[in-house]
Amino acid sequence: MIPVLIFDIETIPDTDGLKKLLDLPADTAPADVAEIAFHQRRQKNGSDFLALQQHRVCAISCVLRSDEGLKVWSLGSPGEDEGKLIQRFFDGIEKYTPQLVSWNGGGFDLPVLHYRALVHGVQAPRYWDMGDDDREFKWNNYIGRYHMRHLDLMDVLAMYQPRANAPLDEIAQLCGFPGKLGMDGSKVWDAYKNGEIEAIRNYCETDVVNTYLVFLRFQLMRGVLNAEAHDNEVKLVRDTLVAETAPHWREFLAAWN
């Protein structure tokens, strides 16, 4: 089978970069840098959501479904250097050439990874191949919005119409899955400031499992999986999580209808 890699990232303000962009003193505290950036963003756009290049990746979580089974994990170790974390992600693509699956990955996760990979000098030749090295990639690559090598579920289900976009949390819950538990993207910065890196990684992991379960339902809808195959894949997810001992998986399973 072609491996499927579901991914999600969590980000915080790039306070070191923002010091340069905002011409702030070198000794400005990170929390103060972020507040200044949020304030300026609100003044300009009415929202404190920073421009994508001003984010720093603090977690990347994945579900990998391959011939070897199902694996759920977060890349690297808590607090690992951002450049090394991003290189790990693209090294996985280099190794497996998987189908990537995301929720809003085309609108957020991948552009952020592009900018931050550029900053850190990350190498990702397989990911950026658009037919120069592999002719198949000319018609189906990771960059093309309408290609399936990267499937942005939110974008496809909304028929590429931003006004039709829906949040993963609501779609997951409507399908009978747990949705977000205890945290959302707006709380990540506060959690990071409190040193709760592991909690951020755990939250990111539950997001990718929600995304994978919605993806399986999508594959059922489009006929790639029949009912029996779909149910077997869902059972594999549940059995995989039952074997885990971390508290966030106990909570996830308890909330799963």
CATH number at residue 135: 3.30.420.10
Cα–Cα distance between 62 and 206 in angstroms, integer? Answer: 10
- Dump pLDDT digits (tens) for 123-146: 999 999 999 999 999 999 999 999
Tally of domains in the chain: 1
Cα–Cα distance between 75 and 29 in angstroms, integer? Answer: 28
pLDDT tier, 79 (very low <50, low <70, confident <90, very high otherwise): confident
Q: Mean pLDDT of all residues in the chain? A: 96
pLDDT of residue 96: 96
- Dump pLDDT digits (tens) for 142-185: 999 999 999 999 999 999 999 999 999 999 999 999 999 878 77
pLDDT of residue 257: 72
- Structural domain containing residue 176: 4-255
Structure tokens at 58: 């603090």
- The pTM of the full predicted model, rounded to 2 decimals, is 0.96
pLDDT of residue 89: 98
pLDDT tier, 82 (very low <50, low <70, confident <90, very high otherwise): very high
Structure tokens at 29: 């505290």
Cα–Cα distance between 181 and 186 in angstroms, integer? Answer: 13
> Nearest to residue 115, comparing CAs of 188, 9, 186?
9
Does residue 112 have a pLDDT over 90?
yes
What's the whole-number mean pLDDT along residues 180-194?
A: 89
Does residue 235 have a pLDDT over 90?
yes
By CB neighbour count within 10 A (0-12 exposed, 13-18 middle, 19+ buried), where does 195 fall?
exposed
pLDDT of residue 191: 96
Cα–Cα distance between 234 and 190 in angstroms, integer? Answer: 33
> Nearest to residue 12, comparing CAs of 207, 243, 190, 256?
190
